[in-house]
Chains A and B, each alone.
Chain A
Amino acid sequence: MAKNDPAAVGAVQPEHFAFDAESEAKLAVILKRYPPGRQASAVMPLLDLAQRQMHRTTGSGWLPLAAMDVVADRLQMPKVRVYEVAKFYSMMILQPIGRYHLQICTGTSCWLRGSDRVAEVCKKVAGIENFGETSADGMFTLSGVECLGACVNAPVLKVNDDYYEDLDAESTEKVLEALKHGEHPKPGPVNGRQASAPEGGPIALASLTFDKAE
């Protein structure tokens, strides 16, 4: 997606960024995890913290340059080192993004189980044509990602921090419409299945009956 396009960096950058009280409280806890003089190790949690604060306060969870500068100052490391980290990991989003980041698995298992249809529904609901685009209302950004590690529940859609699993066209639309209306559908399998247990049971070894061996 376009989030790593250096030409776009700086186009919509806010002038200032500062950690708010809520983030500061978490930040103090994070910094304590690292021995004195090794504070630079906290760069990734701090970048994540900044990105979450952006999501909380602006509805768009991305990392402006100003936030990376603040992190660099906090950890007393060169700005370029922070920027290197942010550019390396695709979890760090360097451009404004929709309120809900839809990451659809396009790996083999999900594809076999119909991820194409899930993607189509996402595009239809968001009103966009391609991966990497953001809907006009700023609600959804759609990304295609490789394996999310939940092949048993394919196809999988990751919405911000939550996984929605065992999707089909209908259930996907339901989830997205709910999100649109400000609701928060229950994450996990949408077909009533418990976690990754077999569909329709059994859900525990205790409920199994075995024929006695002769």
Chain B
Amino acid sequence: MAKVTVDGIAVEVPDGCNTLQACEAAGVEVPRFCYHERLSIAGNCRMCSVENAKYPGRLVTACVTPVRDGMEILTDTPAVKAARHGMLEFLLINHPLDCPICDQGGECDLQDEAVAYGRDYSRFSESKRAVREKDFGPLVGTAMTRCIQCTRCVRFCAEIAGVPELGAFGRGEAMEIDTYVNHPLSSELSGNLADICPVGALTAKPYAFVARSWELRKTDSTDVFDAVGTSIRVDSRGPEVLRVVPRLNEDVNEEWLADKGRFAIDGLKRRRLDICWVRRNGKLERATWPEAAAAIEARISRLDGSRIGAVAGDLVDVETMLALKDLLASYGSVNLDCRQDGAAVDASRRDFYLFNPTIAGIEQADAVLVVGANPRREAPVLNARIRKRWMKSNLPVGVIGPEADLTYPSQAIGSGPETLAALLDGRGDFAEVLKKAERPLIIVGQGALARPDGTAVLAACWKLAAACGALTPEWHGFAMLHTAAARVGALDIGFLPKPGAKGLPEMLHGGVDLLWLLGADEFDVGAIGKDTFVVYQGSHGDRAAARADVILPQAAYTEQDGTYVNTEGRVQRARAAVQPPGEAREGWKILRGISAYVQKPLPYDDAAAVRERLAAANAVFARYGVLERGGCADQAGPAAAGALNGAPFVPPIANYYQTDPISRASPTMAECARVHAPQPAPVAE
């Protein structure tokens, strides 16, 4: 530890920490542009100059200067003030004065710092630099004339996103940021460039000229487009969600957000179900809530519980699933399924289906085996954490499954279960790596489980984890990577067929007479029996709604309070930012209303009562946000059945940008899919 004083405030900071961090520790604000705590240090904006009392009048750049014991830092001297004036004057020489039409206006570092540390006049009367417009693809908007060459974006791409596509070309005043050569950014984290850019040079393209930051109402929420459960802030104005930005959450997403979570929100305004529909004489017709409820009652009251089934989709909140489970239970039905992909699962113990080491825990792993997953596509933010671990020191990563660029070096060790069996026998180089590792991490993707021998693969993965020492009282290295935000919550409340009850495959082809779909669109809708009465409760008119006999319009995740459990098992809440459109209602309220209509009223009337019921169903719902990482107490594995077959693992996500009803309704995501799905042809090679 080094003892330093900053403007007379004594602080103790770790050795090797830089002067800027010492100033922050003392609570003294130092302006900066290029320095970012999660990126490497460039030291090129010179804005953080401070003075060392030992050498009066000589400025030191705080971000690149390590602290020394006994150092006296001054940030408020005339020399420092003059330096800040000077730096801002230089930066503003070539910065256009277009703040009134700039998307960054109101939340711009340069604007703020010019007000706080700059002069109120300019001495520059020559003509300003202008930079040719760039095209970074459908998500990142560019106005490179505003660029102040801090190179944060270049470092972000190279270090965090792991896709070194941006570079600083040319030199001096002519330096420009561009891609190599004119092709769109291929990262799933590219939206974060708009956040780290300290000026308005890189902005969110779909948000261009949409709103000013001070007009927005900000609602803290949770992302539902993957199972990471990224903390987000939903910015809305009136009835519209205008943008989504990440919130700081060191345990989950640090400060990043994947592109789908950020940009699929324009799907919330399209293809919405805002009124009830009932099929009469083979045609869907508009209906009122009582008419829809009556149509359901006419059917459901004649049925035996075993002929009723329900399937929950990937974006559904736990409250709604629990209400539907309770409603079906009152008819004696336990035909429930939350696995549209048919993934094998053993819900008898929570650690059989969780990402046990936790996302932050990835940083302690010293070897990673990925089985049937592509974390880059399935959970980009989680993948960034693996990359962060790899950046720290070399991390052996083995992949069983389709080869993919994960943004860090990985070793393809096989394509299917036979490689898993080989590792279990201790054959192959990677078996040695796993054995030597102190904290091996085995990531099991849905691509390994959504297949006929899924149960056997799951058991084999657990066995492998036990064999290579991943399951100890200190470390739990069995990590299941889910793709659906609703999945873990559904498993926690037991939205699964009990033994003997029907799962999704049995409900299809006439297995049930009434099928209740909760936003479930990701299975083959054509396989539903011809005479099955389908109730579709959801927010978007997607595949399944077209097949439905009754459509109940539900609020989307930005329009209702809802609980989600991420792949780690962290219970989090999404909050209502805007009103649902038209007649749409909150999910559990719809079910509460229907239950009253069919005279089997559910025993809760308000959100608090639902939460109480939730906590009674599973104690994990009593605590929000927090998660304790534990070791593995019991090495006994999930139930095994059947034998492994030889078929290679198939990735569960073929097209990252369109995986659910909201993103399929989003024009921005459609454009991304168009640009990225067929790999862009190599330019002039």
Contacts and interface: CB of A to CB of B under 8 A. Distances in A.
A88 B164 contact: no
B608 interface: no
B170 A88 contact: yes
Contacts of A9: 181, 684
Nearest to B174: A4
A16 B684 CA distance: 9
A14 B604 CA distance: 72
B140 to A, nearest CB: 16
A80 B685 contact: no
A83 B158 CA distance: 14
B181 A65 contact: yes
Interface in A180-205: none
A174 interface: no
Contact of A87 (B132, B169, B179, B683): B169
Given A80-B164, A80-B165, A80-B167, A10 B180 contact: no
Given A6-B182, A81-B167, A66 B683 contact: no
Contact of A6 (B132, B165, B171, B685): B132
Contacts of B181: 6, 9-10, 65, 83
Contacts of A79: 180
A80 B180 contact: yes
A83 B164 contact: no
Interface in A13-64: 13, 15-16
A138 interface: no
Given A4-B174, A6-B132, A9-B181, A83 B683 contact: no
B188 interface: no
Interface of A is mostly: helix
B684 A83 contact: no
Contact of A69 (B132, B176, B685): B685
Given A13-B684, A65-B685, A78-B158, A4 B170 contact: yes
Given A6-B178, A6-B181, A83 B167 contact: yes
B666 to A, nearest CB: 29
Contacts of A87: 167, 169-171
Given A83-B169, A84-B167, A88-B171, A7 B132 contact: yes
A169 B132 CA distance: 39
B344 interface: no
A84 to B, nearest CB: 4
A15 B685 CA distance: 5
A127 B330 CA distance: 94
Residue in B168, B169, B683 with the greatest tally of chain A CB atoms within 10 Å: B169
Contacts of B176: 6
Contacts of B164: 78, 80-81
Contacts of B684: 9-10, 13, 15, 65-66
B641 to A, nearest CB: 46
B459 interface: no
Nearest to A11: B684
Nearest to B165: A80
A84 B168 contact: yes
Nearest to A13: B684
Interface in B132-189: 132, 158, 164-171, 174, 176, 178-182
B364 to A, nearest CB: 26
A156 to B, nearest CB: 24
Interface in B562-608: none
A9 B164 CA distance: 20
Contacts of A80: 164-167, 179-180
B190 to A, nearest CB: 15
Nearest to A84: B167
Contacts of B158: 78
Contacts of B683: 10, 65
B180 A83 contact: yes
A78 B167 CA distance: 10
A66 B166 CA distance: 18
Interface string A80-101: 1101100110000000000000
Contacts of B167: 80-81, 83-84, 87
A167 B209 CA distance: 59
Contacts of B166: 80
Contacts of A69: 685
A9 to B, nearest CB: 6
A204 B174 CA distance: 46
Contacts of B169: 6, 83-84, 87-88
A26 B165 CA distance: 30
A81 to B, nearest CB: 7
Contacts of B182: 6, 10
A114 to B, nearest CB: 29
Contacts of A66: 684-685
A69 B180 CA distance: 11
Nearest to A88: B171
A62 to B, nearest CB: 14
Nearest to A66: B685
A78 B685 CA distance: 15
A128 B119 CA distance: 48
A167 B298 CA distance: 104
A84 B176 CA distance: 10
A87 B177 CA distance: 11
Interface string A147-171: 0000000000000000000000000
Contacts of B132: 6-7
A79 B682 CA distance: 12
Contacts of A13: 684
A80 B176 CA distance: 13
Interface string B611-627: 00000000000000000
A71 to B, nearest CB: 13
B293 to A, nearest CB: 59
A10 B178 CA distance: 15
A16 B174 CA distance: 29
Contacts of A6: 132, 169, 176, 178, 181-182
Nearest to A65: B684
A174 B236 CA distance: 74
Contacts of A4: 170, 174
Shortest 4 CB-CB contacts between residues of A and residues of B: A78-B164, A87-B169, A80-B180, A80-B167
6 contacts: A6-B132, A78-B164, A83-B169, A83-B181, A87-B169, A87-B170
Interface of A: 4, 6-7, 9-10, 13, 15-16, 65-66, 69, 78-81, 83-84, 87-88
Given A7-B132, A81-B164, 19 more contacts: A6-B132, A6-B181, A10-B684, A13-B684, A15-B684, A65-B683, A65-B684, A66-B684, A69-B685, A78-B158, A78-B164, A79-B180, A80-B165, A80-B167, A83-B169, A84-B167, A87-B167, A88-B169, A88-B171
